[in-house]
Structure 1
Amino acid sequence: MANKGPAYGLSREVQSKIDKKYDAELEERLVAWIRAQCGEEVGAPEEGKTGFQNWLKDGCVLSHLINSLYGANPKPIKKVASSGMAFKQMEQISQFLGAAERYGVTKTDMFQTVDLWEGKDLAAVQRTLMALGSLAVTKDDGCYQGDPSWFHKKSQENRRDFSDEQLKEGQSVIGLQMGTNKGASQAGMTGYGRPRQIL
């Protein structure tokens, strides 16, 4: 990867807006969850955005995280190995993203590999990890470690089955959303085009 120089003009403004979305408090919560989920062997990042990026950049911490959410089931990422080569690190991140999608994280909540590896949009990385944590809390399969209040539960399907008789009863009721014409009259209305007489 070639090193890029400083951004100017519109590029700088866009990058500045993206950087402002990064949440330092959320970083602390995510680090605490990852360490609770994976154990102390994943270490801890240096404080700040760059430390957070460098901690996750090789993809190993992310791979351990997604593997820990599968419990006794077969692990989605078979080989987790640290490497100094850029393409190996990016491949490890891509494997995490694929496993997270299979776990249930939607495509719209996913970050791109370069968002993390090049540090382009670390707020997107935070969004992905938040979505993953929310799914883990919602599944409640015993694999989630940490404080459940760190993430909100996602809404779940609440299917209802009505009998044909109940459905027919519902068709005969006129809901208040339809409105009412009781008490409506045209008393005091004037014809079109004529001014209203105020005495």
Structure 2
Amino acid sequence: MAYRASKSGINADQAKKQDAAYDQVAEDQARQWIEAITEEPVGGSDFFEGLKDGSHLCRLLNRLKPGLVSQKYESPVTQPFKQLETIGKFLDGCQQYGLSEKDLFVTLDLHEACNKNMVVATIFALGRTAQKNGYEGPKLGPKEAEGQKREWTEEELRQGASVVSLQMGTNKVASQQGMTPYGKQRQIYQS
């Protein structure tokens, strides 16, 4: 881990919120899924220490789709720059497998264990994508929804064009009558 000054101020508050929101059950599910596919344990008691070098994740990707990541990245490495490179290859492989960029963690999120939520979310996204890509082995999380393309006939389109929406100015039901700036306020809850 890099030697950094401890966080203070707003950064410390943000780190506390992230730690408080961390879902240990999701981590356990992700660990079990990875171990079931790779057929080898992920580190000891610290999940992120077991994944830190990226080799375990590259083996996972190659089990989901053989040849996705070069075999040389499957061996454990100890040099930090090699570990970062291996994690980067895993992330590149995830994009090739079908994950979007917004589903991926940043290399340092795993290497320094600074954003554990995002690492677990990426593993869940990989599990969803594996189901979508037809992987028949162990499953992680719900199946990703598929879009349904709508087909309209010409007659249905003509009928829809003749309907006048209440938002087009008929002013029969849609109005702001009774709305005042005073009275009951909108309730906003923080989660």
TM range (shorter): 0.7 to 0.9
Residue among 62, 76, 85 paired with 1:82: 76
Verify the 8 A CA contact 1:58 1:93 in the aligned structure 2: yes
Distance verdict in 2 for CA 1:45–1:108, change over 3 Å: same
Structure 2, gaps ≥5 residues long: 174-191
- 1:61-101: CA deviations, max 9, x gaps? 1111112221xxx5210122211111111111001111111
Contact 2:42 2:56 in 1 (8 A): no
Q: CA deviation at 1:158?
A: 0.9
Q: Retained in 2: the 8 A contact 1:37–1:144?
A: no
Deviation at 1:54, TM superposition (A): 0.7
The structure number with the bigger radius of gyration is: 1
Contact 2:132 2:144 in 1 (8 A): yes
What corresponds to 2:146 in structure 1? Answer: 156
Partner of 1:62: 57
Q: Conserved in 2, the CA contact under 8 Å of 1:69 and 1:144?
A: no
Change (3 A) 1:69 1:179: farther
- Cα deviation, 1:154-177, whole Å, max 9, x if unaligned, reads 221211222323322332344678
How much does 1:17 deviate?
1.8
CA RMSD of aligned residues (A): 2.4
Alpha-carbon contact 1:137-1:151 (below 8 Å) kept = no
TM-score, scaled to structure 1: 0.75
Counterpart mapping for 1:9-24 below 5 A = 9-24=9-24
Structure 1 182/121 Cα, relative in aligned 2: closer, same or farther at 3 Å? closer
Length, aligned pairs only: 171
CA distance in 2, matches of 1:178, 1:37: 56
Distance change (3 Å), C-alpha of 1:180 and 1:92: same
**Aligned twin of 1:123:** 117
- Answer yes or no: is 1:43 the counterpart of 2:41: yes
Scaled by the length of structure 2, what TM-score is found? 0.78
Q: 2:42·2:51 contact (CA, 8 Å) conserved in 1? A: no
Percent identical pairs in the alignment equals: 33
Give 3-state SS (helix, strand or coil) of 1:101's partner: helix
Contact 1:35 1:43 in 2 (8 A): yes
How many Å separate the matches in 1 of 2:31 and 2:158?
54
